[in-house]
Structures are given as structure tokens and as C-alpha cells.
Amino acid sequence: MSELNRNLLNLPEEQVHMTTQLKSAPKKKQAEKPPAHETKPPANHMDFNSITDKQFLVAAQHMNLDPDIQMLLRTPYRELVVQIPVRMQDGHLELFHGYRVQHNAVRGPYKGGLRFHHEVDLNEVRSLAALMTWKTALVDVPFGGAKGGVTCDPRRMSRLELQSLTRGFTSKIDMALGVYRDIPAPDVNTNAQVMAWILDEYGKKNGYTPAIVTGKPVNLGGSLGREQATGRGTMIITREACKSLGIDLKKAKVAIQGFGNVGSWTAILLAELGAKIVAVSDVQGGIFKEDGLDVQATLQHLKETGSVVDMPGTRELQSGEILTLDVDILVPAALGGVITRNNADDVQAKLIVEAANSPVTTRADEMLRSRGVTVVPDILVNAGGVTVSYFEWVQNLQQVRWELDHVNQELEKYMMKAWSLVHATHTEQGVPLRIAAYVAALDRLAEATQQRY
């Protein structure tokens, strides 16, 4: 007889009945889990890689670049595609797709940002990785080019979900990362907090390694001036382009599409130089004020409401209207492919400064040039970010901290050297600024490739 049955024989009848009921009570039915779901990139996304490739080929043909060198520079070294399962807070399992493309490391370790966006796909990341290769060569920092992305909509995700996604992605690609191999950084919809999660996740296997990622919080080894670096670089190039074109920046009207990190800092710094910021926009809409926006007040409104829309004293802009306003300078500082053959003829700005990556398509570029509109290319304009990332990497390796003034002074030197090289090539060879920038970058890359191969 079992111990339970012997104990039951010694209990009063009513207790035996209750105990038997408890023993045989049916288990509660568990609530059904929400069904799993997969976040996929869009089926018909713009082919950004073809835009980058065409620009490369035009420059390569202009400089009679050796076909062998062309093949080596056009072909990515490694492409990683990973699946990242995340248990969402409502209980369902979401499967995300992540990418890391290591394009070229002939001049140094791979370097490039990580973006979270619902439209990102492998082809876009491939294009952005190539742009990083040209960019690091142009500003002459000892890095190659890489890029990462995860197809997701961070606006609909909680902080905990974003952290799980970031850590999951890092753990899937950490074998390809390294202080002298591949160093990520922030990009669209990622920031210092996301970089801190990458640092921590990578450190679980490798120990504390601050140089593994740039754009970190200053408290965790980040650099002073990194947050504003891309906007500061954009300001420097805009200032110099205005000088070369005879545009008085203090009298210039500026429209900035995208009011995130890059766009907002560009607005702040250009306003400090006396420029009139008449229009800005974000994902929810745009605003316009003829006599100029109060940039600080606009930033405060954005902080309080989550958007620049409904800023008091401003006119609301219709979708895409900010790109065709009657302004002197247009700064696309959001996503790629916003100026196309469909709206290029409506652009009224005399100067377009590409703070975003590939905001102008190949055909639109040709149309703008035929109308005398000057386009300053992305690989020059937004190189301030990777330049100060280089400074951060150096500080981490040397275990020192630079003062903000020193960071900004060094950034000014690097951006001015790059601008001077591009402008000289543009003038001497009679090519557009974009092709001049590519030629300058490819010269350095070709020399390094020949030396190594």
C-alpha cells in the first residue's frame, strides 16, 4: 500500500473525500499563446545598390580604373543574414531579419552603422556598406566599410523588446565583430543606448571591450562631440559649399528634411552661423515659417509632443512639399531615394547638401545638374560621424579622453581636407562634386589594393 493510501485510511471520511477531490481535480487549461509572426522586408524596395554601383562605375571609367581593381572594390567581402527571434511583451514570438555586410577592409577594419527600419533589406545594407568604404577613404581615416540593419519598426516596440532585439542580433554576428575587425556605430533609429547594449552583449563573451562599438554613451567610453558629429560635418561642408557658390549663408533660407539627430544638429549649427531655417520635417509631417523657425523652441516642441507638427506659429507642409520649397539650401537628412525623376524638376533650391545616404537617385542627379543645381554628395557631407567615431576608437584604444574643443578642432581639419580635395578635383577635372568625391576616394583605395594584392 502506498504512503498516500495509508495516510488516507487514518483520516476522517470528509477529509478523505476532500483530499481525493483535490487529487483528481482537472488541471486548468492554459491560455493559448498568440501566433508567431515574421517581420519581412518590403517586396518592392528601391534598388539603392544599383544607384551606388552606377556612381562607382562613372567615376571608375572617368579615371580609367583597372578592371581587376574595379572587381575587387565592387564586391562585398562578406554578407551575413541572420534570424532574430524575440518574445514580444504580448507573448507572441516575432521573427526579425538582420544583416551585416562587410564590404571592404583594404584600408582598415570594417566600419559602419546599424539601422533599425521597417524597410531595410540586404540590398540596401549592401549599398550603404559600399558608401562607407568610399566615405572612410575620402576623409582618410584608417577604416574600411560595413553596414548593418534589422527589418523592424522601432516606433511600435517597447524598450525591452528593442533591447532583446539588439542583444539577439549582436549574439548572432559577434563572431564577425572585433576591435580590429568590424566596429558598429549608430544609424537610423539607433542611438547611444543601442550601442551600450551591443557593448554589454559583446562583453559577455569577450570581456569589457569599449572599442568594439562607437557612438556609445560618454560614461561608457563614448567620445564628447560624437552625438553632434554628423550634423557638425554637414554644417562645415554646407558653409564651404556656400563660399564656393557665392551664397551668403547669413541671408540664406534653409529647408531640412528629417529632424532626427543629424537634421536637428545641422539646424542648430547652421542657425548659429546666421542661416534662416524656414522648414523642417519628420516622419509625421513638416512645418514652415517664412521668417525662420526658432530651432531651440522647435526642438522643445518635438521633445514634448514627439513631432515638429503643430508647432505654434508655423504652417503645416504637405507630404513631400519640403523638398520643393523656394529656398537657397535643401538638406535631405532622413532616408534615401527622396528626390527622384518624379520631383527633381520641382526642386527650387540652388544647393542640395546630402546629409542622408543616397537621397538623390541617379536620374534625378542628372536632371538637377542639367538645371544648374549643385549637389554635394553624401560620402563627403555626412562623413563627420565616422570621423569622430575614429576619434572615439582611438581614445578607447589609448584609454584617454579628448576634450570637446579638441574633438571639434580635429573634425574641422579632417572635413576641410576632404572638402579641399574634392573641390580641387571638381575644378581641375571638370566633373561634378559627386564624381570628384568618388575619384578622390577610389584613388586611395586603388593604391591600397594594389599594394596588398
pLDDT of 263 above 70: yes
Asked if 329 and 233 sit in the same domain, the reply is yes
Asked if 214 and 65 sit in the same domain, the reply is yes
Q: Residue 93: inside a domain, yes or no?
A: yes
Separation between Cα atoms, residue 241 and residue 436, nearest integer Å: 14
Among 93, 227, 91, 264, which Cα is nearest to 168's? Answer: 93
Asked if 88 and 209 sit in the same domain, the reply is yes
The DSSP element (H or E) to which 230 belongs, if any, is: helix 229-245
- Cell readout for 9 is 485510511
Residue 38 has a pLDDT of 85
DSSP 3-state assignment of 429?
helix
DSSP 8-state code for residue 301 = H
pLDDT of 266 above 50: yes
pLDDT of 8 above 90: no
Separation between Cα atoms, residue 375 and residue 50, nearest integer Å: 19
- Phi, psi values for residue 183, rounded to 5°: -125, 105
Mean pLDDT of 410-422: 98
Asked if 170 and 208 sit in the same domain, the reply is yes
Q: Residue 376: inside a domain, yes or no?
A: yes
- Cell readout for 236 is 562645415
Asked if 215 and 247 sit in the same domain, the reply is no
Asked if 167 and 314 sit in the same domain, the reply is no
At residue 19 the predicted structure's pLDDT band, cuts being 50, 70 and 90, is: very low
Q: Contact at 8 Å (CB) between 332 and 373?
A: no
Separation between Cα atoms, residue 268 and residue 249, nearest integer Å: 14
Asked if 89 and 208 sit in the same domain, the reply is yes
For the segment 140-194, what is each residue's pLDDT rounded down to a tens digit? 999 999 999 999 999 999 999 999 999 999 999 999 999 999 999 999 999 999 9
The DSSP element (H or E) to which 150 belongs, if any, is: strand 145-151
Residue 63 has a pLDDT of 96
Lowest mean pLDDT among 3-7, 50-54, 359-363, 402-406: 3-7
| Domain limit, last residue, from 220, 240, 264 | 220
The amino acid at 134: W
DSSP 8-state code for residue 33 = P
Does the annotation mark 29 as catalytic? no
Q: Residue 234: inside a domain, yes or no?
A: yes
DSSP 3-state assignment of 347?
coil
Mean pLDDT of 348-360: 97
pLDDT of 338 above 60: yes
| Residue 320: CATH number of its domain | 3.40.50.720
- Cell readout for 83 is 534570424
The chain-wide mean pLDDT, for the chain, equals 93
Among 33, 128, 136, 150, which Cα is nearest to 87's? Answer: 33
- Among residues 28, 29, 54, 147, the one annotated as catalytic is 147
Q: Residue 68: inside a domain, yes or no?
A: yes
Lowest mean pLDDT among 20-34, 118-132, 221-235, 411-425: 20-34
Separation between Cα atoms, residue 377 and residue 118, nearest integer Å: 25
| Domain limit, last residue, from 363, 381, 399 | 381
pTM of the model: 0.90
| Domain limit, last residue, from 322, 357, 381 | 381
Separation between Cα atoms, residue 355 and residue 155, nearest integer Å: 22
DSSP string, 169-214: HHHHHGGG-BTTTEEEEE-TT--HHHHHHHHHHHHHHH---GGG-S
Q: Considering the chain, what percentage of its residues have pLDDT values greater than 70?
A: 93
Residue 22 has a pLDDT of 43
Asked if 108 and 207 sit in the same domain, the reply is yes
Asked if 205 and 106 sit in the same domain, the reply is yes
The amino acid at 217: P
Asked if 44 and 193 sit in the same domain, the reply is yes
Asked if 238 and 201 sit in the same domain, the reply is no
Q: Residue 9: inside a domain, yes or no?
A: no
Range of the domain at 245: 229-381
Residue 17 has a pLDDT of 45
pLDDT of 32 above 80: no
Q: Are strands 182-186 and 110-117 parallel, antiparallel or unpaired?
A: parallel
Separation between Cα atoms, residue 122 and residue 52, nearest integer Å: 14
pLDDT of 276 above 90: yes
Residue 163 Cα to chain centre, angstroms: 18
Residue 102 Cα to chain centre, angstroms: 15
Domain count, the chain: 2
pLDDT of 5 above 90: no
The alpha carbon dihedral of 206, 212, 218, 221 has a sign of positive
Q: Are strands 182-186 and 285-288 parallel, antiparallel or unpaired?
A: unpaired
Residue 35 has a pLDDT of 87
Asked if 179 and 253 sit in the same domain, the reply is no
Lowest mean pLDDT among 39-53, 78-92, 235-249, 349-363: 39-53
